Amino acid sequence: MAELLLAPAVVHVVCGPTGAGKSGLAIALAAKHGLTIVSADSRQLYRGFDIGTAKPSKVDLAAVPHRGIDVAEPTERWSAARWAGDATQWVEEIGAANVLIVGGTGLYLRALSAPLFDEPVLGAGPRATLAAELEGWTVRELRRWVARLDPARAHLGRTQLLRAIEVALLTGHRLSDLHSDSARPPRYRVRWLVVDPGTELQTQIESRLDAMIAGGWADETVALTRTVPPDAPAWQACGYAAVRDVALRGRDMAEARSAILVETRQYAKRQRTWFRHQLDGADVVRVDPRSPGADAAADAWWRSEGTA
């Protein structure tokens, strides 16, 4: 009995690479069972950045309650620990049995299942100086440096790479070591539904990109440039830098489209790598959203008790 009382609550997470079709599957599942979706997407939380982050439509938002959408100003930084704190509050408020976590931001999902430590507070002055020095660096250049400073974090995206460099240079410690030394017991027992269409993902990413462009992504970006500073964290969302160049610098949209397609596919590849390694041995069910039985498989996953 004591073990049951101490056992962490079970939460259900629908995840997968960008463009895989996880949102559609999750919304159908949530609508069927009366669930609230908590978004685990580090870009959908920013207000105004709608088309390029593939936020749920107004119809979907009206059909299924959502948390974690449009909760931050574009200038705010939203760490994984901060998101996990918010998500925990939402889960406790709604009840774990009534929540579906949906998203592809691996660090957010990890922070929910295994709480992160409180990262060191760095001085604003040194951070600003370092940020100015690194502003023109490409992701590839940042990865090369992080591979020397903190190899365990060299596969991450630009924001996390910059954070790894900050911590290493300004504290003398590797961020990955600080995480390992401060490991905490799991907050929840997570059941994972990994959505992945396999080789079809490349085509789906391209089709979604074309729909975003046709849906007014450039116009949205023009409007955002009038109110959002160019160094705001929200601009780091995949593709926005290229579309901003179209809006402000006359870059050819066809050229920008090609660059965004490469960027998005590379991001999806990193996400797949994360899910493959981080979820190894976990309570995982995998589903191809294109298969005729995808909805039934998702429903069976939700209803089952999983593995302890």
Residue-wise pLDDT for 184-217, tens only, equals 566 788 999 999 999 999 999 999 999 999 999 9
User: What number is the average pLDDT over the span 156-160?
Assistant: 85
Q: Please report the pLDDT score of residue 247 as a whole number.
A: 87
Q: Please report the pLDDT score of residue 185 as a whole number.
A: 66
pLDDT at 2 over 50: no
Residue-wise pLDDT for 235-252, tens only, equals 999 999 999 999 899 899
| SS3 of the chain: helix, strand, coil, percent, to 5 | 55, 10, 35
Residue-wise pLDDT for 75-111, tens only, equals 998 888 889 999 999 999 999 999 999 999 988 998 8
Q: What is the pTM of this model?
A: 0.78
Residue 130 CA to residue 40 CA, distance in Å, equals: 29
- Alpha carbon distances (Å) from 100 to 71, 114, 195, 257, 264: 18, 17, 14, 33, 25
Identify whether the C-beta of residue 51 lies closer than 8 Å to the C-beta of residue 215. yes
CB crowding 83-107: b at 16 or more within 10 Å, else e: bbebbbeebeeeeeeebbbbbbbbb
Q: Please report the pLDDT score of residue 307 as a whole number.
A: 52
Residue 149 CA to residue 167 CA, distance in Å, equals: 10
For 103, phi then psi, to 5°, come to 165, 180
Identify whether the C-beta of residue 11 lies closer than 8 Å to the C-beta of residue 112. yes
Domains and CATH numbers, the chain: 2-116+184-303 (3.40.50.300), 124-181 (1.10.20)
Residue 201 CA to residue 197 CA, distance in Å, equals: 6
Q: Please report the pLDDT score of residue 167 as a whole number.
A: 85
Percent of the chain with pLDDT over 90: 63
For 108-122, 127-141, 159-173, which range has the lowest pLDDT when averaged over its residues?
108-122
Q: Please report the pLDDT score of residue 120 as a whole number.
A: 64
